[in-house]
């Protein structure tokens, strides 16, 4: 049962809009920094602020929202914070303000991120609906990469903060009409699970169910190994291809394929195959790194772009569904925050590690080889530590 179909629709549209902005930032903030004359080593450091804030703030915001028992206030605050940040950056476009406002953006985005937790509660942790949410995230990535490029082509990279601002402003329309009724959410959870929890005295009413720590370890090491390679993928492709059309297609095909794979795999996941789907997903990440390093033509890169789409759709869908169904309305924010934190901490530290290796050897191919090890650690973590007793 869905508690509110209207809210589900509003959240899915809002997720598309927010991730359109998110992907545009990753894609077009670096060339903007190049345009204003920023040193390339400083650019990597500035971009690393985004995953750093995604590591620092979600667990904190998630814990507070669990205690307050009102996700909507955080969503509204976060949405306004994002809009305000980009509005100021339209007028204050220098390196110091960009750095400061990226931290403000990170905190605001963590607050807005409570919308995914509210969504899980509204759809009562239904795996099919959770896969819809994951798919809409990827839709936003695709739109952000494509429309951001069109905007830059027409109006120039100097105006990119206008794009961030106006797209973010649209999002407030959908967020304002969301509704959250904690009484109904708690009541429905109690009925569905034959338990009795109360948001008024959560710690006294129910002991929190454990989440397998192997989940966090696997999320961390997967992104530690793969994310730095993804960041230089366009450079690797450009070493072998000269057509900008082919390069753009190869970068864009990943989220396009993921849209459909996420929906399909979300319907296939159940308690009997959850573990094996996670293992295959992480293993495919390691294979993809190797594939990027050995590919020399268009079709080689295309094959591994499709493989990485399978990888993400499998391990992320399985992880989110597992955590959603193991948590309650009084601890969901904390555990989803831990998962996001592990995911982005891997991106942040992995990026620093990869950059450090490049100092000693600037050859992307040589430096990329050791990165294969880390998704393998994810495979081992799930294989050895994720026990049946921890399953959904």
Summarize pLDDT for 363-390 with one digit per residue, the tens.
888 988 999 999 999 999 999 988 755 4
- pLDDT bin (cut points 50, 70, 90) of residue 94 is confident
Q: Which domain holds residue 58?
A: 1-201
Residue 305 lies in a domain: yes
Q: What is the SS3 assignment for 200?
A: coil
Q: How do residues 234-257 score in pLDDT, each as one tens digit?
A: 778 888 887 767 877 887 788 888
Q: How do residues 14-68 score in pLDDT, each as one tens digit?
A: 999 999 998 888 778 888 887 888 776 677 678 778 888 988 899 999 999 989 8
Structural domains of the chain, count: 2
What CA–CA distances, in Å, run from 387 to 132, 275, 382, 391, 392?
A: 27, 9, 8, 7, 11
Q: Are residues 131 and 176 in the same domain?
A: yes
Query: Half-sphere exposure (CA, 13 Å, Cβ side) for 329?
Result: 32
> Are 160 and 32 a contacting pair, CB within 8 Å?
yes
pLDDT at 108 over 80: yes
Q: Are residues 174 and 250 in the same domain?
A: no
Give the DSSP H/E element, type plus range, for residue 385.
helix 373-385
Phi, psi for 198 (deg, rounded to 5): -135, 130
For position 19, what pLDDT does the model report? Answer: 93
Single out the residue in 201, 220, 240 at which a domain terminates: 201
Q: Are residues 161 and 138 in the same domain?
A: yes
Name the average pLDDT for the chain. 87
DSSP 125: T
Tokens 């530690």 belong to residue: 224
For position 246, what pLDDT does the model report? Answer: 80
- Name the pTM for this structure: 0.84
pLDDT at 195 over 70: no
Distance (Å, whole) CA 336 – CA 114? 9
210, with CB counted inside 10 A (0-12, 13-18, 19+), is exposed
DSSP 36: T
For position 121, what pLDDT does the model report? Answer: 92
CA-nearest of 85, 140, 133, 136 to 107 is 85
Tokens 């009484």 belong to residue: 183
Q: Are residues 211 and 315 in the same domain?
A: yes
For position 109, what pLDDT does the model report? Answer: 93
User: Burial code of 312-329, b = ≥16 C-beta within 10 A, e = fewer?
Assistant: bbbbbbbbbbbbbbbbbb
For position 170, what pLDDT does the model report? Answer: 95
What are the counts of helices (DSSP H) followed by strands (DSSP E) for the chain? 18, 0
Residue 391 lies in a domain: no
Q: Are residues 337 and 249 in the same domain?
A: yes
- Identify the CATH number of the domain in which residue 57 sits: 1.20.1250.20
What CA–CA distances, in Å, run from 156 to 150, 153, 161, 234, 252?
A: 9, 6, 11, 20, 20
For position 209, what pLDDT does the model report? Answer: 57
């Amino acid at each position: 049962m869905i508690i509110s179909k209207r809210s589900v629709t509003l959240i899915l549209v809002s997720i598309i809009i927010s991730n359109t902005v998110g992907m545009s930032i990753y894609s077009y903030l670096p060339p903007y920094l190049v345009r204003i004359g920023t040193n390339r080593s400083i650019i990597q450091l500035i971009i690393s602020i985004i995953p750093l804030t995604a590591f620092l703030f979600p667990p904190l915001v998630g814990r507070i929202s669990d205690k307050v028992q009102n996700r909507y206030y955080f969503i509204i605050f976060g949405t306004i914070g994002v809009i305000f940040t980009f509005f100021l950056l339209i007028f204050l476009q220098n390196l110091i303000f960009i750095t400061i406002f990226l931290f403000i953006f990170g905190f605001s985005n963590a607050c807005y991120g409570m919308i995914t937790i509210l969504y899980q509660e509204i759809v009562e942790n239904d795996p099919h609906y959770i896969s819809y949410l994951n798919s809409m995230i990827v839709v936003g990535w695709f739109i952000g990469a494509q429309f951001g490029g069109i905007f830059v082509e027409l109006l120039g990279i100097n105006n990119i903060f206008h794009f961030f601002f106006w797209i973010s402003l649209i999002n407030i329309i959908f967020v304002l009409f969301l509704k959250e009724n904690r009484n109904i959410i708690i009541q429905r959870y109690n009925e569905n699970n034959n338990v009795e929890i109360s948001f008024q005295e959560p710690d006294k009413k129910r002991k929190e169910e454990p989440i397998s720590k192997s989940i966090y370890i696997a999320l961390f090491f997967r992104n530690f190994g793969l994310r730095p390679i993804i960041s230089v993928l366009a450079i690797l492709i450009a070493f072998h291809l000269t057509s900008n059309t082919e390069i753009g297609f190869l970068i864009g095909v990943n989220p396009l394929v993921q849209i459909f794979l996420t929906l399909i795999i979300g319907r296939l996941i159940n308690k009997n195959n959850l573990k094996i789907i996670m293992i295959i997903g992480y293993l495919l990440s390691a294979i993809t790194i190797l594939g990027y390093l050995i590919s020399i033509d268009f079709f080689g890169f295309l094959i591994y772009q499709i493989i990485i789409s399978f990888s993400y759709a499998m391990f992320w869908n399985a992880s989110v569904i597992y955590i959603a169904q193991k948590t309650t309305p009084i601890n969901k924010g904390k555990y989803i925050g831990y998962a996001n934190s592990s995911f982005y901490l891997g991106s942040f530290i992995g990026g620093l590690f990869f950059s450090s290796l490049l100092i000693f050897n600037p050859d992307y191919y040589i430096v990329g080889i050791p990165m294969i090890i880390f998704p393998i650690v994810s495979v081992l973590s799930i294989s050895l530590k994720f026990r049946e007793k921890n399953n959904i």
